Amino acid sequence: MQLSRRSVTIGLLRLIIVVGVLGGPLAAVASAHPVYRVRPGDTLSEIAKNDDTTIIRLERLNRLSPTSPLLAGSELSLPAPSVPELRYVVAPGDTLSGIALRFGTTPAAIAAASGIASSGPILIGTTLRVPSLASGRLERPEASVHTLDYVVAPGDTLSGIALRFGTTPAAIAAASGIDASGPILIGTTLRVPSLASGRLERPEASVHTLVYVVAPGDTLSGIALRFGTTPAAIAAASGIDASGPILIGTTLRVPSLADGRFEPPAPSVPELRYVVAPGDTLSGIAVRFGTTPAAIAAASGIDASGPILIGTTLRVPGVSDAGSSPAQSSYEVRSGDTLDGIAARYGLSLGVLADMNHLDVDAPLLVGTRLVLPAGASAGGAPGVETASVRASLVRWADHYGVSEQLVTALAWMESGFNNNLVSSAGAVGVMQITPETWDYVEQVLLLGQSVPDTADGNVRIGVAYLHHLLHIYDGDPYRALAAYYQGARSLLLQGFLPGTTQYVEDILALAQRF
């Protein structure tokens, strides 16, 4: 189709008008940027530094490449003067639109200045750069957020604490640097922000704690019941595993949810004051009074693995007559007797019997010598026979599996005091404190399906066989083998030594020196 000269002329006039109309605003926008005339010797970095900007901004604004020459006399557009801005820390309940409204700007302007997405969430504690579109000085609104340090008590939940202080779980979690969906541990210090005006007041404390030393026969559930709390609360406050055994002499922190003053119950375990005499050892005193070295050490505030000084007064738990020493029995050495034979007959270790009588285990035993034996020790009495039987089983199975007799004996003493009737809160039973799972594993895997009778001797066999297996796993290292016996091999692999494991192992290794 051919166009007339008139139509072409009209079209050209319309194009000129449109260009003219658009040219005005475009020129105005371009002229909004200051212009700098390049001088000889100028560099882009010097110009950027003098104008408080960056080389990249200058390159983008002037469509320059890093290799473009900078010619003297050419004009460079400089960035427009910066907008005043404020650094603002996001508080609980803040939104981007709310902050923008408060400071007279827009969400998009804050997002661009802060390098965040305007459509995404903003995290409490994030520092935002807030530019202001309004003229004049940018003023920060008066702060309205208060914080309190709060120590988590038994029974607390994140939602409950948030409700108590008029805030939200997410706000507490963000301020404290924890996961809002995870558990909170008793004793953890939380930072609690509040959106309410005025001073943030802490509710009156209602949790009390007591330091309690584990006595023979104690269980975590029993202690919790006695003090009106829960096993989990005691375990969390004491840094121990609620499902594991508790050792005699361990110091626990017992929180109570009850109101009022927290009073410990009257002591239910009698004790005796004993003055250390020359030749005494902690293990010897423990055997003499029917308790354990750990119990005496804990009650007396001393180190069970350290030496005891002559003249030191010890507190011996578990002795009913606090005014006198227990009645001791004695034995007159006969022809053919040996010290280790007498020890085995009465269910004692050679070291303990020698310590009690201040004898050298390698010295000859003279006929007619009267040996002091622990109270209740009798070759013909029930307790003596039972203990001697256990002691004989330990020697027998230690020899059978090629394990140190002293190590096995110390382990059995630490676990139960040679008491085959002992049952722990975790369900471990007998001399070696074997759980049903461990018993089944030893029978089915280590003994290839062989059934072991549920007797004191059978319990000792299962425990020694399992210890032998652990020693094999850990290349004969008794330290790691005992740790796995106490804590579990899988737990030791995944978590390392738990609180209490190291002390348990060191106590047994120290006891082994005395057996």
pLDDT over 70 percentage in the chain = 75
Q: What is the pLDDT of residues 372-420, one digit of tens each?
A: 776 555 554 334 446 668 888 899 899 999 999 999 998 998 888 888 8
pLDDT at 253 (0 to 100): 80
Name which CATH class applies to 208-256.
alpha beta
Q: What is the full DSSP assignment across 388-451?
A: HHHHHHHHHHHHHHT--HHHHHHHHHHHHSS-TT-B-TTS-BTTTTB-HHHHHHIIIIISTT--
Query: Which two structure tokens, joined as six digits, stand for 370?
Result: 């009267």
Residues 6+ apart with CB under 8 A from 197: 144
- Residue 372: phi, psi to the nearest 5? -85, 130
Task: Tell whether the model's pLDDT for residue 19 goes beyond 50.
Answer: no
When comparing pLDDT for 502 and 213, which is higher? Answer: 502
Reduce the DSSP state of residue 10 to 3 states and report it: helix
pLDDT at 84 (0 to 100): 62
Dihedral sign for Cα atoms in the order 224, 230, 233, 239: positive
Judging by DSSP bridges, how do beta strands 251-256 and 208-213 pair with one another? Answer: antiparallel
Reduce the DSSP state of residue 49 to 3 states and report it: helix
Q: What is the pLDDT of residues 100-128, one digit of tens each?
A: 877 778 888 888 888 788 777 787 778 88
So where are the chain's domains? 32-79, 85-131, 146-194, 208-256, 271-317, 393-512
Nearest to 468 by CA among 479, 453, 481: 481
Q: Based on the residue annotation, tell me whether 415 is a catalytic residue of this protein.
A: yes
Distance CA 258, CA 227 (A): 9
Q: Which of 332, 415, 437, 443 is catalytic?
A: 415
What's at 270, amino acid-wise?
P
Task: Tell whether the model's pLDDT for residue 240 goes beyond 60.
Answer: yes
Question: What is the CATH number assigned to the segment(s) 32-79?
Answer: 3.10.350.10
CA angle 340, 341, 347 (to 5 degrees): 85
Task: Give, as one character, the DSSP assignment of residue 215.
Answer: -
With tokens 């009645």, the residue in question is: 327
CB 515 within 8 A of CB 410: yes
pLDDT at 143 (0 to 100): 44
Fold of 393-512: Lysozyme (1.10.530)
Whole-number average pLDDT of the chain = 75
Q: Do domains 85-131 and 393-512 have the same CATH topology?
A: no
Listed as own residue / partner, the contacts of 39-48 with beta carbons closer than 8 Å and 24 or more positions apart are 39/72, 40/72, 42/70, 42/72, 43/70, 44/70, 47/76
What's at 239, amino acid-wise?
G
Reduce the DSSP state of residue 208 to 3 states and report it: strand
CA angle 118, 120, 126 (to 5 degrees): 85
CB 431 within 8 A of CB 408: no
Query: Which two structure tokens, joined as six digits, stand for 514?
Result: 């005395």
Task: Tell whether the model's pLDDT for residue 452 goes beyond 80.
Answer: yes
State the burial class of residue 155 (Cβ atoms within 10 Å of its Cβ: 0-12, 13-18, 19+). middle
CA angle 117, 121, 127 (to 5 degrees): 75
pLDDT at 465 (0 to 100): 95
Q: What is the pLDDT of residues 173-201, one digit of tens each?
A: 878 878 877 778 777 788 887 544 434 44
* 3.40.50.970, 3.10.129.10, 3.10.580.10, 3.10.350.10: CATH of 146-194: 3.10.350.10
Q: Which of 36-50, 120-134, 149-163, 175-189 has the highest mean pLDDT?
A: 36-50
Q: Strands, DSSP E only, in 312-361?
A: 313-317, 329-332
Q: How many CA atoms lie within 13 A of 120 on its CB side?
A: 9
The CATH architecture that domain 271-317 belongs to is Roll (3.10)
Fold of 85-131: Membrane-bound Lytic Murein Transglycosylase D; Chain A (3.10.350)
Nearest to 223 by CA among 425, 504, 486: 425
